[in-house]
Amino acid sequence: MDVIIPPPGEVINKRLIDTLPGGKIGTVQRALFAAPQGGSMVDKSTSNLEHFIIRQQRLHPEATGEFSSLFSNITFASKIISREVSKAGLVEILGMTGKTNVQGEAVQKLDAFAQETIVKIMMRGGTLCVMASEEQETVIPVPEPYTRGKYVLVFDPLDGSSNIDANVSIGTLFGIYRRKTISTGECTPSDVLQPAKSLVAAGYIVYGSSTMLVYTTGQGVHGFTLDPSVGEFLLSHEEIEIPKRGSIYSCNEANFPLWSEGVRRYVADFKAKPERQAKSRYIGSLVADFHRTLLYGGIFLYPRDKRYPTGKLRLLYEAGPLSFLAQQAGGRGSDGVKPIVDIVPDKVHQRTSLFIGSEEDVLEAEDYIKRFGDSL
C-alpha cells in the first residue's frame, strides 16, 4: 500500500480548495472517489481504510509508500489495543500495575499494554526515527539494527485511563511529523518539539460503543468504524465538518472556583443565555469528549487553574494533534489566547490550557479571557 503525503508547504487545505473556482473539496473528492463508470459514490460498507488511503495517494504520484506503511502499522496496533480493551473485564488486565508514570499518575495495566504494543509495532516498522509518548519520560529513539525512517510519532497510548475500570470510552491519540534533521543520523530534540501546524497527520482511535479511527492528513477529516467481524476499519464518516457554533459545553465544572475570572464568566454566560439552550456533557476522557464535540459542535475546555497553573493536558500528543484535527474540520483549538497549532513545545510533556471545538465558541472564550483576564 502506498500513501502519499504532500511535501511540506503543499498540504492541501480544504478551506483553500473551497475558494477555488469549480468547487469544494467535497466535490473534488467525490469526483476522485466516484466509480469509474460515473456510477455511485464509494459504498461505505465496503470502503475500508486501505482503499480510502490508496484513493488519496492517487493525488500524489511521487509517494514512496513510507507514510502509508507507518499508518497501516498504527491501525494494526490500534486493532490489538481495541481487542484487549473489549475483553478487559474478562481477563486479568483491569487495575493498576503498581507503578506511576512520568506525570506521577498510577499506571493501569491497559496503559502499559497499549504503550508496549505501539512501541513494539512501530519500532520495527522502518518508518520512524523517534517516538515520544505520554507514558515515557524521555523520547524513544529507534535504535540499530532497526531501520530508521523519516517520520516522528508522538502519542498518548491510552488516554482517559481513569475511566478504564468503569467501562467508559477511552482512546489513543497520535500525531506524525516529518523529521527536520538529515534522515540518516540520530534524531535531535528539534525533530520532536515541533508545533502542531507542522503535523503531516494526526488522529485518534476511540474505544467506545464501537471502535472508531478519525484522522486527517491535511485533506479533511475522515472517520472509520472498526467492523470486528472482518477486522477492518470501514468508512463511516467522510469529510467531517464541525458546526460553527454549538450548544454543548464540556468541562470539569468542579474546577470552577479554581479558574480565572475570564473562564468563570465565559462558562457562566454560556449557560445563562436562553437562546443557546446550553447542555453540559463531560466524560473525563479527552478523546471521547473531543469526538462528541467534533460531531455535535460546542466547546471542550480544560483551562489552567490553581491546581494546574500551566494547564493539565499535554501539548505535544494531546492538545496539538486534536487542534490540528479541529482546524481541518473547520473548528479551532486555542490556549485561550492563541491557536494551539502555533505553539512550539519546549519540552515533551509540556502542559497547556485547551479550548477546542466550534470556531465561534472558541473565539468567544478567547474574547472573555481578553476582556476579564486569566490571572489565577
Of the candidate spans 31-39, 65-73, 75-83, 152-160, the one that interacts with ligand AHM by CB under 6 A turns out to be 152-160
Binding pattern for the stretch 194-233 against ligand AHM, x by CB under 6 A and - elsewhere: ----------------------------------------
Decide if residue 350 touches ligand AHM (CB under 6 A): no
Among 2, 50, 84, 105, binds ligand AHM (CB under 6 A): 105
Of the candidate spans 113-121, 156-164, 184-192, 320-328, the one that interacts with ligand AHM by CB under 6 A turns out to be 156-164
User: Given the complex with Mg ion, which of 141 and 284 has the nearer CB atom?
Assistant: 284
Q: Which amino acid is at 244?
A: K
Inter-CA distances, 61 with 127, 221, 344, Å: 19, 22, 32
Q: Of 305-334, which residues contact ligand AHM (CB under 6 A)?
A: 312
Binding pattern for the stretch 142-181 against Mg ion, x by CB under 5 A and - elsewhere: --------------x--x----------------------
To the nearest whole angstrom, how small is the minimum distance from the Cβ of residue 156 to ligand AHM? Answer: 6
The single residue listed with the C-alpha cell 473534488 is 28
User: Given the complex with ligand AHM, which of 126 and 284 has the nearer CB atom?
Assistant: 284
User: Given the complex with ligand AHM, which of 134 and 232 has the nearer CB atom?
Assistant: 134
Q: Of 228-287, which residues contact ligand AHM (CB under 6 A)?
A: 252, 284-286
Which of Mg ion, ligand AHM, none interacts with 366 (beta carbon under 5 to 8 A by kind)?
Answer: none
Alpha-carbon span 291 to 32, nearest angstrom: 27
To the nearest whole angstrom, how small is the minimum distance from the Cβ of residue 115 to Mg ion? Answer: 12
Phi, psi (rounded to 5 degrees) for 216 = -140, 145
To the nearest whole angstrom, how small is the minimum distance from the Cβ of residue 196 to Mg ion? Answer: 16
Where does this chain bind Mg ion (CB under 5 A)? 156, 159
Where does this chain bind ligand AHM (CB under 6 A)? 105, 134, 156, 159-161, 252, 284-286, 289, 302, 312
